[in-house]
Amino acid sequence: MGAYLVRRLLLVIPTLFGIIAINFVVVQFAPGGPVEQMISELKGRGTGVIGRVTGAGAAETAPTSDNGYRGARGLDPHVLADIRKMFGFDKPPLERFLLMVRGYLTFDFGRSFFRDKPVIELVKEKMPVSVSLGLWSTLLVYFVSIPLGIAKAVRDGSRFDVASSAAVLVGYAVPGFLFAILLVVLFAGGSFVQWFPLRGLHSEGAAAWSMPARITDYLWHMVLPTTALVVGGFAGLTVLTKNCFLEEIRKQYVVTARAKGAGEQRILYRHVFRNAMLLIVAGFPSAFIGILFSSALLVEIIFSLDGMGLLGFESAMRRDYPVMFGTLYMFTLLGLLMQIVGDMMYTVVDPRIDFEARQ
C-alpha cells in the first residue's frame, strides 16, 4: 500500500504542472486582461491618472498581453511600458510561466492585481468558508441519502418507494442555487419571514461573544446555504445507494443466507451493507470536491459567503490572473489529494482490496 501511495503522490506533480500549463496557454488568447482594463480606465479618467501610473513598480507575473488592443492608441508609449511592467508583462510568456511555477513550489502565488494582498493570504482567508460549507453539506447529503436509499431498496416498488421518488425528482430538477433563492424569499426576509440571516457566517460583533454563542450564531448562519446544497445534491446519492443495495440483495450469497435462516436485518447489515457501501463511502471525497467546486459557487454568491468560489469568480471577471491561477492551483491540488483519500477509503471499507496486487 505504501508503494502505491508514493506513486499516486508522485503523479500529482506532473498533473498539476499540466493543468497549470494548459490554463496558462489558454488565457494568452483571452481578451480583456488587466493591462487592457487599466488602459481603458486611464483613457476614461484622463491624463491626471496617467501621470500617476508612470514609474509604478513591477507587479507579480501574469499570463496576458495587450498587443493589438485598440484602446492603447493615443497613450504615451512610456505609460504603456510602465503599465506592462507594473503587471509583469514586460517579460516573455515562457519566462513568466517559469517564474510562476517556481513560486508555486513554495506556495508563493504573487500578489493580487486589484486587492493589493498576497494571493496566499486571500486563500487562507477564504478557504475555511468554502471547506466549512462543503464539508457540512456533504455530511448532511450522506446522512439523508444513505438511510433513504436503503429504505427505498428494501421497499422497492412499494408506495413509500414511489412517494419518495417524487422528492428525488425534485432534487434532480431543482438546482441548488434556485432552491437557495427560494429559501431567501421564504425565510430570509425576501417576502415572508426573516428567521435566518442573509449574509455571511457571523453576526456583527460576534467576535466578542462567548464561544457557545459564537457557535450557535455560526450554525444559525449555515442553515440556509447548507440546506440549499443538500437539496440540490442528495438525489444522485440516494439513487446510487438504492441501486447498490438492490444489486447486492439479488445476489446468490443473500439467497444462501436466507436459506440458512438468517434474519433480514442480519442479512442487510452484516452481509449486504459492507459490499453495497463500498462505492458509496469511498466516493465521499469525490462528493465533497464536487460540492466544493461546482455547487457552492452560486450559493456563496447568493448568501454573500466570502469563500473560494466567490473569490475565483470575481478574479475571473476582473482578469486577476495571480488569484485565478492561485485558486486553480489550490482547487486542483485539493482535488487530487482527495482522490487519493478516496482510494484509501476503499481499503478501509473492504480490507480485501489490495492496490499493490494490481498490475
On whether the CB atoms of residues 142 and 279 are closer than 8 A, the answer is no
pLDDT in tens for each of the 359 residues of the chain?
A: 677 778 888 888 888 888 888 877 877 666 666 666 666 666 665 444 444 444 443 334 334 444 444 444 555 676 666 666 666 666 777 888 888 888 888 888 888 877 878 888 888 888 888 888 888 888 888 888 888 888 888 888 888 888 888 888 887 787 777 888 888 888 877 677 778 887 777 788 777 888 888 888 888 888 888 888 888 778 888 888 888 888 888 888 888 888 888 787 888 877 787 777 777 777 777 777 777 766 677 788 888 787 887 787 888 777 788 888 888 888 888 888 887 887 777 777 666 666 666 54
On whether the CB atoms of residues 12 and 358 are closer than 8 A, the answer is no
Length of the chain: 359
Inter-CA distances, 244 with 241, 251, 316, 326, 346, Å: 5, 11, 40, 39, 15
Taking the domain 125-308+332-357, which CATH number applies? 1.10.3720.10
118 has which bridge partners?
111
Domain with CATH 1.10.3720.10 in the chain: 125-308+332-357
Angle at the Cα of 324 from the Cα atoms of 321 and 327, rounded to 5 degrees: 145
> In whole angstroms, what is the distance from residue 230 CA to residue 295 CA?
10
Q: What 3-state class would DSSP assign to 111? A: strand
Which DSSP letter does residue 29 get? Answer: T
Counting DSSP H helices and E strands in the chain, the numbers are 16, 0
Cell (9 digits) for 37: 482594463
Helix (H) / strand (E) element for 163: namely helix 159-173
Q: Which residues of 196-228 are buried (b: 16+ CB within 10 A; e: fewer)?
A: bbbeebebeeeeeeeeeeeeebeeebbebbbbb
